[in-house]
Amino acid sequence: MRKTALITGATGGLGEQFATLFAKDGIDLVLTGRNVEKLSAIAGRITEAYGVNVDEVVMDLGPDGSSEALYETLQKRGIQVDYLVNNAGFGHFGALVEMDWQREREQIGVNLIAPLRLTQLFAADMVKRGFGRILNVASIAAWTPGPYMNGYFATKAYVYSFSQAVQEELKGTGVTVTLLCPGPTTTGFEKTAQMKNSNMFKALKVLKADDVSKAGYKAMMKGKAICVPNWFYKFYKFLLRFTPESLNRRLAAWVTAGK
């Protein structure tokens, strides 16, 4: 039986890159996203290039109940998910007291609640079958508090802790959870987050989506717990062990807002 990968946030960036990598290996796809035109275009390109089956599910994972609706949709279609890539996510820039709450709440839904609930739903089925691979996309933002992007950094910190915990819980089941922590990556994230004053894409090493996706895909297939693409950010993670939290906060504020 051919295996199937479910990829959220598949309308571009890392999601599209992951879809291509799975398709090259002959793995069928379920792609989700909010933009109908982009989703259809990517699905058509991949089907034509690699001959795999591509199902599309147009869905916003922000509202309550979205993850359950996605799971039930695939159940009704008779689709078994062997690989799950929780890639959907976005950033919201600004000080907490100035933020729009609805936008912040949507960010929590997409970045935090969706990967948690989808991991729970699909991992349960994977455990019953004795095989599954899950990749949760976090960020180097998971490692420090993030002034002026406080909610985004916090959601990624949650995914960072959650993913490692579940990886440990699933040992011996044939199911693994891999955590991907890239630095700033050329995906269009900065435009969505409206980070015109940010140093994140000016002062830090910017990674290519192609390189990040390949590193994450390889780590996922091997069942590794954590993947940090590029030596620069591996070294950065190492340095954080020795720097005071007050300095880390100030550095993060400078990176996100130039302050």
Spatial distance between the Cα atoms of 142 and 145, rounded to a whole number of angstroms:
8
Residue 200: per-residue pLDDT: 62
Residue 111: per-residue pLDDT: 97
pLDDT digits (tens, 9 = 90+) for 186-204: 866 555 545 555 666 565 6
Residue 236: per-residue pLDDT: 85
Phi, psi at 58, each rounded to 5°: -80, 115
Kindly give, in sequence order, each residue whose CB lies less than 8 Å from that of residue 128, ignoring residues fewer than 6 positions away: none
- CA angle in degrees (0–180, nearest 5) for 158-160-165: 95
Which segment of 154-168, 184-198, 229-243 scores lowest on mean pLDDT?
184-198
In terms of average pLDDT, the best of 54-63, 181-190, 204-213 is 54-63
Give me the residues paired with residue 185 across strands: 207
Active site residues: 152, 156
Indicate the pLDDT class of residue 1, thresholds 50, 70 and 90: confident
Average pLDDT of the segment spanning 235-239: 89
Six-digit token string for 229: 């693409």
- Domains of the chain, CATH where assigned: 4-257 (3.40.50.720)
Mean pLDDT of all residues in the chain? Answer: 92
Q: What is the 3-state secondary structure (H, E, C) of 69-82?
A: HHHHHHHHHCCCCC
Which segment of 13-22, 94-103, 171-180 scores lowest on mean pLDDT?
94-103
pLDDT higher than 70, residue 27:
yes
Q: Report the percentage of the chain scoring pLDDT > 90.
A: 78
pLDDT higher than 70, residue 63:
yes
pLDDT digits (tens, 9 = 90+) for 95-147: 999 989 999 999 999 999 999 999 999 999 999 999 999 999 999 999 999 99
Give me the residues paired with residue 55 across strands: 30
- CA angle in degrees (0–180, nearest 5) for 65-70-73: 120
